[in-house]
Amino acid sequence: DVKVTQSSRYLVKRTGEKVFLECVQDMDHENMFWYRQDPGLGLRLIYFSYDVKMKEKGDIPEGYSVSREKKERFSLILESASTNQTSMYLCASRAGGSGANVLTFGAGSRLTVL
Amino acid sequence: RKEVEQDPGPFNVPEGATVAFNCTYSNSASQSFFWYRQDCRKEPKLLMSVYSSGNEDGRFTAQLNRASQYISLLIRDSKLSDSATYLCVVNLRPRGSARQLTFGSGTQLTVLP
């Protein structure tokens, strides 16, 4: 089974702090994604990456950046955390190719910004 | 209008009941459809894909209505363990685009003893 591991389950940060959320997958998937999940809004795509060093903005990229230096690792960075970035962050990976649609998620990182 | 829309519920049903959820999507060119299940404080996991002719997996039946642009999930003989949030997921983008999947906000189901 594909395993997607997120480094931190729970984080509490202060406004203005820099936050790193890391995600590692072990099945050589080309595509990796970062979502945030908020009540009533569902999952919203922040950024995704379809290859090493490649990235594309999702629906809500403002306030976030990403890094993909190695195929298995996709990091989400909050340069200066704000209270409206308090959320559940979910990383996912997916194999490449047009026929591959299934996402495998990590367990999530719940971030609270005070 | 949201691209993928679900009734948020909550649906509270007794054990053994049959319950159905619908999900509407806005893009008639959508290619693929899925139901994911998310338990409380856990990550979403694929429950089943939805095929054009409809498909069944045990107590779960998924159907697609392209003319009316909705998919449905039917759960028969509900179990306590079916309590979860069910997420409708639609591939709205052209085939081959990595940025394909759009999630509904989920329908919450609680099965009561």
What radius of gyration do chain B's Cα atoms show? 14
In this predicted structure, what is the pLDDT of residue A40?
Answer: 82
Chain B residues within an 8 Å CB radius of A43 = 44, 87, 103
Instruction: Check CB contact under 8 Å for A102 and B34.
Output: yes
Instruction: State how far residue B69 is from chain A, nearest Cα, in angstroms.
Output: 19
**Residue B96: is its pLDDT beyond 60?**
no
Contacts of A98 in chain B (CB under 8 A): 95-96
Six-digit token string for A78: 């909050």
Task: Judge whether residue B98 has pLDDT over 70.
Answer: no
Residues in chain B within 8 Å Cβ distance of A106:
43
List pLDDT tens digits, range A42-91: 899 999 998 999 999 998 999 999 999 999 999 999 999 999 999 999 99
pLDDT at A99: 53
- Which residue in B92, B99, B108 has the most chain A C-beta atoms within 10 A of its own C-beta, making it the best mutation to test that interface? B99
Query: What is the per-residue pLDDT across B45-88, written as a single tens digit (0 to 9) for each?
Result: 999 999 888 899 999 999 999 999 999 999 999 999 999 999 99
Chain B residues with CB under 8 Å of A9 CB are none
Work out the pLDDT band at B93, boundaries 50, 70, 90.
low
Please say if the pLDDT value at position B12 is more than 80: yes
pLDDT of residue A27: 85
The pLDDT of B15-38, averaged and rounded, is 92
Q: Looking at residues B12-25, what average pLDDT do you find?
A: 96
CB contact under 8 A, A58 and B32: no
Task: Place B95 in a pLDDT band, splitting at 50, 70 and 90.
Answer: low
Output the pLDDT for position B11: 94
What mean pLDDT, rounded, does chain A reach?
Answer: 92
Report the DSSP beta bridge partners of residue B111.
B13
Name the closest residue on chain A to residue B90, using Cα atoms.
A101
Bridge partners, B112 (sequence order): B14
Residue in chain B nearest A49 by alpha carbon? B98
In the predicted model, is pLDDT for residue B7 greater than 60?
yes
| Facing B106 at nearest CB: one of A42, A50, A98 | A42
Q: How confident is the model at residue B91 (pLDDT cuts 50, 70, 90)?
A: confident
* Chain A residue numbers touching B95 (CB-CB < 8 A): 98
The full DSSP string for B52-109 is TT-EEETTEEEEEETTTTEEEEEE-S--GGG-EEEEEEEE-SPTT-SS-EEE---EEE
Residues on B contacting A at a C-beta cutoff of 8 Å: 8, 32, 34, 42-46, 49, 87, 91, 95-96, 98-101, 103-106
pLDDT of A24 reads 97
